A and B are shown apart, each in its own frame.
Chain A
Amino acid sequence: MNAIASHKPAPAIPVTQSGVADVVAASKLGLVFNTNDGPVQALSNVDLTIGKGEFVSFIGPSGCGKTTLLRVIADLEKPTSGTIMVNGMTPEQARERRAYGYVFQAAALFPWRTIADNVALPLEIMGISKAERAERIRRTLELVNLAGFEKKYPWQLSGGMQQRASIARALAFDADLLLMDEPFGALDEIVRDHLNQQLLELWARTNKTICFVTHSIPEAVYLSTRIVVMSPRPGRVTDIIDTNLPRERPLDVRESPEFLAIAARVRDGLKAGHSYED
Chain B
Amino acid sequence: MRASLPWQIALALLAVVTGGVLQLATAPGGGPGNVWPALGLVALAAAATLAMGGRPVAQAALLFVGAHGAAWLLLSGVAGHEGQAGASFYLALSGAWLLAWRCVTVLSMLKPASQGEKRLLGLIIPLIFGAWVLILWEAIVRGAGIPFLLLPPPSAIAERIGVSTAVLAADFRQTVLKAVLAGYIIGCGAGFIAAIAADRFLFLRRGLLPIGNMAAALPIIGVAPIMVMWFGFDWPSKAAVVVIMTFFPMLVNTVVGLSASGHMERDLMRTYASGYWPTLFKLRLPAAMPFIFNALKINSTLALIGAIVAEFFGTPVVGMGFRISTEVGRMNIDMVWAEIAVAALAGTLFYGVVALVERAVTFWHPSIRGG
Q: Which residues of A contact B282 (CB under 8 A)?
A: 110, 121, 124-125
Shortest CB-to-CB span from B197 to chain A, Å, is: 23
For residue B218, give the distance in angstroms from its CB to the closest CB of chain A: 36
A212 at interface by CB-CB < 8 Å: no
Cross-chain contact B278 with A125 (CB below 8 angstroms): yes
**A122: which B residues are within 8 A, CB to CB?**
272
Give which listed residue, B267, B272, B283, contacts A104 with CB less than 8 A: B267
B residues less than 8 Å from A110 (CB atoms): 265, 282-283, 286
Known A108-B265, A112-B286, A155-B369; contact A96-B270, beta-carbon cutoff 8 A: no
Q: CB of A102 within 8 A of chain B?
A: yes
| A108 close to B271 (CB less than 8 A) | no
The smallest beta-carbon distance between A154 and chain B, in angstroms, is 9
Contact check, B268 vs A104: say whether CB atoms are below 8 A apart. Answer: yes
Shortest A199–chain B CB gap in Å is 19
Looking at the assembled complex, report how far the CB atom of A82 sits from the nearest CB atom of chain B, in whole angstroms.
22
CB 8 Å contact bits of A85-104 with B (1 = contact, 0 = none) = 00000000001111011101
Q: Looking across the interface, which residue of chain B has its beta carbon closest to that of A107?
A: B264
B234-284: which residues lie under 8 A (CB-CB) from chain A?
Answer: 262, 264-265, 267-274, 278, 282-283
Contacts A110-B286, A112-B364, A153-B364 given; does A126 touch B272 at CB 8 Å: yes
Question: Which residues of B have CB within 8 Å of A124?
Answer: 278, 282
Which size bracket describes the interface of B in this complex?
A: 20 to 34
| Contact residues in B for A74 (Cβ distance below 8 Å) | 271
Once bound together, how far apart are the Cα atoms of A97 and B272, in whole Å?
9
Kindly identify, within residues 31 to 78 of chain A, every residue whose CB is under 8 Å from any CB belonging to chain B.
74-76
Indicate if the CB atoms of A98 and B262 lie closer than 8 Å: no
State the CA gap A200–B215 with chains docked (Å): 60
Query: Chain A 108-144, CB within 8 Å of chain B: the 1/0 string?
Result: 1011100000000110111000000000000000000
Contacts of B273 in A (CB 8 A): 95-98, 125
Q: How many A-B residue pairs have CB under 8 A?
A: 52
Q: In the complex, A100→B262 CA distance in Å?
A: 21
Closest Cβ–Cβ distance, residue B366 to chain A (whole Å): 8
B336-371 contacts to A, CB under 8 A, are: 362-366, 369
Given A108-B262, A153-B364, A155-B364; A76-B271 close (CB under 8 Å): yes
Q: Which residues from B are CB-within-8-Å of A105?
A: 264
B126 to chain A, nearest CB (A): 30
Among B122-155, those with CB < 8 Å from A are: none
Q: A132 → chain B, closest Cβ, in Å? A: 16
Please indicate the chain A residues that have their CB under 8 angstroms from the CB of B364 in the complex: 111-112, 153, 155
User: Chain A residues near B365 (CB, 8 Å)?
Assistant: 111
Chain A 155-190 interface 0/1 with B at a Cβ cutoff of 8 Å (1 = within): 100000000000000000000000000000000000
- Say whether A245 faces chain B, with CB atoms less than 8 Å apart: no
Q: Which residues of A contact B267 (CB under 8 A)?
A: 76, 102, 104
Residue of B nearest to A179 (CB): B271
Query: Which residues in A have their C-beta under 8 angstroms from that of B362?
Result: 112
Which chain B residue shows the least CB distance to A123?
B272
A10 at the interface (CB under 8 A from B): no
CB atoms of B271 and A106 under 8 A apart:
no
Is A98 a contact partner of B265 (Cβ separation < 8 A)?
Answer: no
* Chain B proximity mask over A238-263: 1 for CB below 8 Å, otherwise 0: 00000000000000000000000000
Q: Which of A102, A111, A153 meets B271, CB within 8 Å? A: A102
Q: Is there contact, CB below 8 Å, between B274 and A104? A: no
What residues of chain B lie closer than 8 Å to A75, measured between beta carbons? 270
Most central of B271, B362, B365 by chain A CB within 10 Å: B271
Give the complex CA separation of A104 and B269 in angstroms.
12
Residues of B within 8 A of A112 (CB): 286, 362-364
Nearest B residue to A117 via CB reads B282
Cα distance A194–B349 when bound, in Å?
53
> Which A residues from 191 to 248 make CB contacts under 8 A with B?
none
A residues near B278, Cβ cutoff 8 Å: 124-125
A122 to B267, CA, bound (A): 13
A155 to B364, CA, bound (A): 8
Contact (Cβ within 8 A) A108 B264: yes
Bound CA–CA A102/B274 (angstroms) = 14
Give A98 to B273 CA distance when docked, in angstroms: 7
Q: List 28 A-B contacts (CB under 8 A).
A: A74-B271, A75-B270, A76-B271, A95-B270, A95-B271, A98-B273, A100-B271, A101-B271, A102-B268, A102-B271, A104-B264, A104-B267, A104-B268, A106-B264, A108-B264, A108-B265, A108-B268, A110-B265, A111-B364, A111-B365, A112-B362, A112-B363, A121-B282, A125-B272, A125-B274, A126-B272, A155-B364, A155-B366
Closest 7 CB pairs of A and B: A111-B364, A102-B271, A112-B364, A108-B264, A96-B273, A125-B274, A122-B272
Since A110-B265, A121-B272, A125-B278 are in contact, a sample of 8 more A-B pairs with Cβ atoms closer than 8 Å, ordered by chain A residue number, is: A75-B270, A95-B270, A95-B271, A106-B264, A108-B265, A112-B362, A122-B272, A126-B272
